[in-house]
Structure 1
Amino acid sequence: MTDAQDLDIPTEPLPASVLTGFLGSGKTTLLRHLLSHPEMDETAVVINEFGEIGLDHHLVAEATEDMVLMNAGCLCCTIRGDLVETLRSLYRRRITREIPPFRRLVIETTGLADPAPILQTLMSDPLLVERFRLDGVITTVDAANGEVTLDAQIESVKQAAMADRLLLTKCDLVDQDRIDALTQRLAQLNPAAPILQVENGKTEPSSLFGCGLYDPASKSLDVQRWLKAEAYEHDEGHGHEHHHDVNRHDERVRSFCVTYDVPLDWDRLNAWVDMLITLYGQQILRIKGILCIAGEEKPLVIHAVQHVFHPPVELPSWPDDDHRSRIVFIVRDLPESLFQETIRSFNEE
């Protein structure tokens, strides 16, 4: 039995990032280059592959004790239960010094994965919540095939809509007009996520990680990068119209920001969010918000994925002079008016 004094227990939950993207979009190439960067030395990787025989771990690098391959199924469904046990085991081996003391976790999903159940698992399993915090979702999009994939595969739409960072790969294979068209489409699908172009998977880790609502290391809010409320505002006279092909899947997925100018009552806000999640949880892909709560000087951050509401986090201070409550929703087949009207009915006398 390991002596308690020999345990290396982190003082804060370790940041966990989900790397997703449709088949062939360059996830493994990106991961291979990331792991060669000095900043990634203390990173544990969980790789999921679809099928009986796994290959990606050989393509990334030589498998080490802190690289875990999960195969024989899709991470988000068939072996979802194994994800919990794998992460628990990985953490246990870390604190008992059986493997190097990693400081970050990256989960690479299969290209067919719906990211929502993975995020739910990270946010809802009691033991995982104590040990890991969801840092963000990084999604690769193939510039050469991205438009066609978004048209044909709902999974790719959800992967892009739920991202905190969108990475355009294979830009060297297409002309600038196609890159611009895809960039515009992704920006309309997910206005808050920065869109970065990467060449042969090469990018700086600092541009991808630290996506989370709160970074304990720096005690600062990454609000400028993940919550761009102005990106959701519609120019007067343009309404909510988007000039897309109506057959595109992402016409069903929308992003918008609900703002509230006066401090919110916490109990009423809880009742409102509970109602939304109970009635429309499957259609609410993600919720992120920074809130001004009545009687509180410091802002509160909320984060939810479908039916799972992450415990709120109080921030040390407001990131800027704008103290309005701002809540970003990414939804499927739900009108923005539903959220605008119900928040008023729940919070106004």
Structure 2
Amino acid sequence: MAGTDFHILCGFLGSGKTTLLLDFLAGQDAADTAVLVNDVGRIDVDGAVVGRSSTGLPVAMLPNGCVCCSIGNELVASVETLVADRDDAGLPPFRRMILECSGLSRPGPIVRSLGDLGRHDFRVRVLATFDAGQGAAHAVHFEEAAAQLAAAQTIVLSKLDLDGAGPVEAAAAAARAINPFARLVAEPDRAARAAAAFTGHGPSAAVPPAPTVVGLRGLLHPRIAVFLATVPPGRPWEAIAHWIEDLAARCGDRLLRVKGLVAVAGVDGPVLVQGVGTIFSPPVRMPPGSGGDLGSVVVIAHDLSAVDLAATCAPHGVTIGQ
């Protein structure tokens, strides 16, 4: 299954996920795509809408609760069925699979569930919709919205054409205040926006510069903070792993995203450390000379002070800046 992109499409209630998905399915790039839709409640309204509009593409509906907390096994079984049916038909692997999550889902547990599908070698990507008019307020008042945005590799600014959306620049700044890593799609045309979101192509899908200490200080949000953890070079991997375990255990749900490069004793080249919530990917050895500030790990958290985070990291020799 190498080459199949698995998109976790998340975003808070009413932020435009289904509209974005339908716009993509209506375009030429949607060929060889499978769709899974999860909604809260006994009647999967979004699934019915997508199923009616998917122009013959395979659609699996996952009702009765948020996929992140109640039906992980059903998600795995549904994916396995779609893959098996595709193989039985003598067709090549799907180009992409898209899971549209409930507006209340958190990406971290979904990523964990997909670990049971490791043999398929999916390339998992988290994509979040951000209501240009209300996205910042959602992130302030709802922890689920903050977790979705902080976990995303791509944030799509939605509802740009509606009254009250405000300037695109303001919406982009609000999104980057939550997640400085994400690539932003700010395309006003709906079809082009959808294509840029799921294919990565398009001039609006620009990658922001890597955040620096000065840049992080400028990311202001009432409940979400972006910290810079400095890991001394030459630490054995066991010591770094203990720091990560302690960080996840002590911060819990307040931990939204972790990403950075560290220098590990006995390893030639930097090691990439990254996690969504408290779920961390296996470390990845990067080629010597890879870009980025070696030893700098960005930590995104909500309702967590620099003092509390520093107290967690200090026993491991890791210092915290903001």
Q: Report the TM range for the smaller structure's normalisation.
A: 0.7 to 0.9
Alpha carbons of structure 1 residues 64 and 185: separation in structure 2 relative to 1, 3 Å: same
1:294 maps to: 265
1:119 maps to which of 111, 115, 123: 111
Could you say what secondary structure the match of 1:229 adopts?
coil
Confirm whether residue 234 of structure 1 aligns to residue 222 of structure 2. no
2:251 maps to: 280
Alignment of 1:10-89 (within 5 A): 10=1, 12=2, 14-60=4-50, 61-62=53-54, 64=56, 66-89=58-81
Alpha carbons of structure 1 residues 136 and 328: separation in structure 2 relative to 1, 3 Å: farther
Could you say what secondary structure the match of 1:251 adopts?
coil
Confirm whether residue 156 of structure 1 aligns to residue 145 of structure 2. yes
Could you say what secondary structure the match of 1:117 adopts?
helix
Question: Retained in 2: the 8 A contact 1:65–1:99?
Answer: no
Deviations along 1:135-173, one digit per CA (max 9) or x if unpaired, are 321111222333443444332222222222221111122
1:192 maps to: 181
1:335 maps to which of 290, 299, 305: 305
Question: Which residue identity is paired with 1:120?
Answer: R
Using the alignment, how far apart are the partners of 1:270 and 1:279 within structure 2? 14
Aligned length: 311
Q: Following TM superposition, by how much is the alpha carbon of 1:269 offset from its aligned partner in structure 2, in angstroms? A: 0.6
Alpha carbons of structure 1 residues 14 and 57: separation in structure 2 relative to 1, 3 Å: same
Using the alignment, how far apart are the partners of 2:159 and 2:105 within structure 1? 21
Using the alignment, how far apart are the partners of 1:114 and 1:37 within structure 2? 28
Question: Retained in 2: the 8 A contact 1:229–1:326?
Answer: no
Deviations along 1:302-344, one digit per CA (max 9) or x if unpaired, are 2223343322222345433x56123222222223355556556
TM-score by length of 2: 0.80
Alpha carbons of structure 1 residues 97 and 328: separation in structure 2 relative to 1, 3 Å: farther
TM-score by length of 1: 0.75
Could you say what secondary structure the match of 1:51 adopts?
coil
1:265 maps to: 236
Could you say what secondary structure the match of 1:198 adopts?
coil
Question: Which residue identity is paired with 1:302?
Answer: V
Q: Following TM superposition, by how much is the alpha carbon of 1:109 offset from its aligned partner in structure 2, in angstroms? A: 0.7
Deviations along 1:164-192, one digit per CA (max 9) or x if unpaired, are 22211111224675544433322222222
Using the alignment, how far apart are the partners of 1:304 and 1:148 within structure 2? 25
Using the alignment, how far apart are the partners of 2:193 and 2:313 within structure 1? 40
2:279 maps to which of 308, 313, 329: 308
Question: Retained in 2: the 8 A contact 1:161–1:189?
Answer: yes
Using the alignment, how far apart are the partners of 1:278 and 1:148 within structure 2? 28
Using the alignment, how far apart are the partners of 2:245 and 2:274 within structure 1? 13
Provide the aligned C-alpha RMSD in A: 3.3
Gaps of 5+ in 2: 201-205
Question: Retained in 2: the 8 A contact 1:261–1:324?
Answer: no
Confirm whether residue 171 of structure 1 aligns to residue 160 of structure 2. yes
Using the alignment, how far apart are the partners of 1:79 and 1:186 within structure 2? 29
Question: Retained in 1: the 8 A contact 2:261–2:297?
Answer: yes
Using the alignment, how far apart are the partners of 2:168 and 2:218 within structure 1? 24
Alpha carbons of structure 1 residues 336 and 152: separation in structure 2 relative to 1, 3 Å: closer
Question: Retained in 1: the 8 A contact 2:269–2:286?
Answer: yes
Deviations along 1:43-87, one digit per CA (max 9) or x if unpaired, are 222111223333434544236463212123222223233112222
1:90 maps to which of 77, 82, 99: 82
